[in-house]
Amino acid sequence: MTDYAYVEAGYVVALGGLALYGASLVARERAARRRIPAVVPARSDERGVEHEGGAASS
C-alpha cells in the first residue's frame, strides 16, 4: 500500500465516523420528537381522550 492509501483510509474513517454519529444523533432526536408530540400531558384525562379518539376515527 502506498502512503496515500493510508491517508485516504484515515480521512474516510474519521469523516465517515463523524458523519455516522451525527446522522445517528439527528435520527434519534427525530424519533424521540415523533414519539413525544403524541403525548397526553395530563394523565387524568386519559379516558376522555380515549373516547374522543374512538369517536373521531369512526
Per-residue string for binding with other proteins, 24-53, x by CB under 8 A? -xx-xx--xx-xxxxxxxxx-xx--xxxxx
Rule CB under 8 A: say whether 23 interacts with other proteins. Answer: no
Judge contact between 14 and 8, C-beta under 8 A.
Answer: no
Judge contact between 49 and 40, C-beta under 8 A.
Answer: yes
* CA dihedral for 28, 30, 34, 40, sign (positive or negative): positive
Give residues in contact with other proteins (CB under 8 A). Answer: 1-4, 6-7, 9-11, 13-15, 17-18, 21-22, 25-26, 28-29, 32-33, 35-43, 45-46, 49-54, 56-58
